[in-house]
Structures are given as C-alpha cells and as structure tokens.
Amino acid sequence: MALTVTNTNTIQLLNILNRNSAAQSTSMRQLTTGKRINVGKDDPAGMIALENLNAELRAVGASLTNNQRTDSMLTVADSAIGEISSLLGEIETLVMSSTSDANLTKSEIAANQSQIDDALTAIDRIVSTTNFNGKKLIDGSFTIQTAGVAGNSYLSNLRVFSRSQSTSDTVLTVNRVASAQVATGTFASMGGASTTRTSGSTQVVIQGSLGTATITIASAQTQAQVVSTINLAKSQTGVSAIQVAGSVSLNSTAYGTDAFVSVEVLSGGYINSTYGTATSDGSTANDIQNVSKTSGVDANITINGQNTAGDGLDIAYSANGTSMEFTLGTAFGTGNTGATTSTSFTVKASGGATFQLGTTASTRQTIGLNSLGTHMLAGGNGTQRLSELRSGEAADLNTDPASALSAVRDAIGEVASIRGRLGGFQKFQVGASIASLQAAQDGLNSAASIIGDTDYAVATANLNRETVLIQYGIQLLGVVNQQAGQILSLL
C-alpha cells in the first residue's frame, strides 16, 4: 500500500463523527424530553399529524370541561327542583287532610293553612336563591322566549323545554282534529221531572280519576239535593254531578282518557214518581243504577302538520329540536269555538340556556328552564295557580279546598315533568357527551403517544450504538495521525 501525506481519511472520519454526534444529540434529546419529535426535522410528516392530533385534544379537553361544568350546574338545579317536589308533597298531604272538614276544627284547618303558606314561601325562596356561578337557574332567567301566547285564549301554560339552533324564529300552527271530552254517565233519570225524589236511603260507590267515595243519599232528596250530595265528594273522586233535562248526570272534572266515571249501587236506588209512589215495580228506567266505567277523550291535534295526541287538554310536542308542553284552552280544546279550529304562536330564536356538548358548532343544545315560582305552577286544565292556595286567595282551605287539591296535583305533575326532562337531558345528552369525549380523549392521547413519544428502549439502544461509534471514531483518528508519523520516520 502506498504511503501518502493527505487529510482525506481525517476528513472522512470527522464527517462520520459529526453525523454520529448529531444522532447522539437527537437520542439524548429524545430521552431527556420524552418526545420522539422535538423539531420538525425529526419527522416532518409525523410533526404534521401530531400537531393535528394535539389540536383535537385541546378541543376535546375544553369540551369535556364544559360538559363537566354543565353536569354540575344541572345537578344543582335538579337538587333544588327535588326539594320543591318534596314541599309540594307536603302541601298535598295538608290539603287532603283538610278536604273533609267534618272531623276537623276551625283551628286545625287554620294550622294546616299556615303550614301551606310557609311551604309556598319556601318554594319561592328556593326559586329565587338557586344559582350556579352567579346565575339564577329556576327563576325564569333561562326561559326560551315566545310570541303570540299572551292573550291567546286558545292555549296556556306553555313551557318550552328546548329549541333548535336555527337563527330564525319557529312558527307553530296548532290545528284541532278532534275535541277533548270529559267522561260522562247518567246517574238517575228520576222520571225526567225535577219534582221527583229519592225513595228510601240509597248508598252508592262513585269512582273517578282522583279516587273512590261511598256516598249515602237520604230519602226524599230532590235532584238538586242529590247533585249537591255527590259534589261534596268531588275533590275526592274527580266526579261532579249536574242536572240535565230532568236527570242527574255525572261528569269527570278532567278531560281525556285518564278521566273516568264509575258507579256501583250498594243499596236502595229507588225514585218516587211525580205522584209519590216508588218506581220499584220492576221498571228501573228512572232508578239510580250502576254505571259501567266510561272514560273521556283526549284532544287530537296537529302541529305544523305533525299528529300530536294530547293527554286530555295537555299537549306534548317534540320535533326538529323543539320540545314543549302546553294546555289547550277549554273552549278551543273541546270544540266550543264555532268555526275556529286553528291557532298559531312563535318560538323565538332567543333565550334559554345554551350548552356546547361537542367540539363543533353543530353540537350546541339550548334548553329552557322555566320559572318554578308558585305564581307560575299549575293553572292547566282550568285549575288554580299554586300561589292561590295562600291564605285569603281563591283556593285556600277555607274557600275552595277542592280546587286547592287539583292545583297542587297539577303542580306536582308539572314539576315532575320538568325534573324528568332536565334529568333526561343531563343523562342522555350531557352524560353521553362526557363519556364520548372521554373515549375520544383516550384514543387521541394514544395516537399522539405512538407518533410523538419516545420509545425509551429504542432510544437507549441508539444512544449506546452512537456512543460506541463515536469512541471508535476518535480512536481511528489517532491511527490516521500515526500514519503521518510513520512517513516522517522514513525521512
């Protein structure tokens, strides 16, 4: 082999050392930071994918935080509504114990009324003080706005639970297809004349949607007296009596298929003729007789062409992101409005509580949290507002305990519906969104880790290899220097 004095080998070795040193630096940086990609040149394509994944992770993390706050907010609202529901149960118990005033003193009824007043005050206090992060939740601040409802006698008690995310208002047209009806039955024909009277004592069991009562009708009672006796138990049974064309007719106090009338005659039932003789001669046409269970009829309507069956006069509607409940006006819902079969109102694209459930604008949902104040609860199907159960109002225990019972039961159903819808949104919308976002977060973290995180086994092996190569490269530089020394020794 020829001996020459050049720096070719030295330059080659230095270039190799520089490359190994750079690789060693990269491995050490990966081991130190825990990241496989620290600068773009480490993996350009991987860097692009990693940045996209990190952007998605940030969006998912923000959405997850939003949903967790939403869940906490709704939990606060649910707890408050649950306490209101408990108070309504207490009020119902007090009203029920006061409807039969025969075995209660005036002071006991007054004590019950005082407790009802306290419970109503407590409900209003809960409504005015329930808040989350400085925002009141159930005082009506988050009510979805509407138009065409105030002053509209064809519908009332409108509660909008959610609206679409359209920026335009939604006009809803309500068309009555079939009228709502009460359950009805003939209690006694009584000869078709108002002068007839009962013959002997009669005991009957009258059953309706509110309950059952055993009623004793004394002998020699006129139609008007029979009606009055039956109506004394109206708040207990949900069945009222009226005089119709010389007969006594029974009607349910509510509309719809859940309302019914049933009568069982336990004893007696005879009616005197206009001449004073009992019609007990085998002809029972005029007597008080059993009435098989008869039910009312629900209103049948369409809203924007969609068939919507009611519960009596109460209507529940859900379509195209809009969900609501309202009560048809009695005249409109029962068809007593002449040629009028249609009415309209508008759900505005404003109001409500809007939540971001996902990472895109299309995942926004707006729900309505209506006021649960006593002045807003009940009032459907002709019942009194809950606030009218206070002392001195139209439905206090001394004035109208029957209306008080109907009102508080209406309020209980209304609050239960609101709480159920709120719970459904919390479970199926917010809860499902949280679970989905957590799963997405796990998947994105795993993908980002695979692309961007350091594999310590590989990085450590690379570092050891590069260290060995550098060490031997340095030794080889010494060998090159020895070659030049050998040439000098020849000289």
What is the phi-psi region of residue 253: left when phi exceeds 0, alpha when psi lies from -120 to 50, beta otherwise?
alpha
Contact 453, 34 (CB under 8 A): yes
Q: What is the pLDDT of residue 379?
A: 78
Count CB-CB contacts under 10 A for residue 312. 25
pLDDT for 9 equals: 73
Which pLDDT value is given to residue 116? Answer: 95
C-alpha–C-alpha distance, residues 423 and 417, integer Å: 10
289 in Cβ contact with 281 (< 8 Å): no
Instruction: Enter the tokens of residue 91.
Output: 């009020």
Tokens read off for 318: 């859900």
The 3-state DSSP class for residue 456 equals: helix
In which element (H, E) is residue 365 found? strand 364-367
Cβ–Cβ < 8 Å for 142, 352:
yes
Instruction: Report mean pLDDT in 10-residue bins for the chain, 491 residues.
Output: 64 83 84 85 87 92 94 96 96 86 80 94 96 93 93 89 91 94 87 69 92 90 90 87 87 92 90 53 68 93 90 90 90 86 94 92 91 88 84 88 86 92 93 94 91 86 86 80 70 64
End-to-end CA distance of the chain: 18
The pLDDT score that the predictor gives to residue 34 is 85
What the block records as the tokens of 310 is: 């009611």
What single letter denotes the amino acid at residue 244?
Answer: V
Residue 195's pLDDT is 63
> Which ranges in 100-139 belong to alpha helices (H)?
106-129
Report pLDDT for 275. 41
Q: How far is 138 from 35, CA to CA, in rounded Å?
A: 49
Q: How far is CA 359 from the centre of its chain?
A: 23
For residue 17, the Cα-to-chain-centroid distance in whole angstroms is: 71
Q: Is 305 exposed, middle or buried (0-12, 13-18, 19+ CB in 10 A)?
A: exposed
Query: Dihedrals φ, ψ of 436, to 5°?
Result: -65, -40
Q: Are 325 and 153 in contact (CB under 8 A)?
A: no
Q: Are 334 and 345 in contact (CB under 8 A)?
A: no
pLDDT of res. 399? 85
So what's the pLDDT on residue 338?
76
Q: How far apart (Å, rounded) are the C-alpha atoms in residues 387 and 117? A: 9
Predicted pLDDT of residue 83: 97
Residue 190 is predicted with a pLDDT of 67
CATH 3.30.70 fits 182-295, yes or no: yes
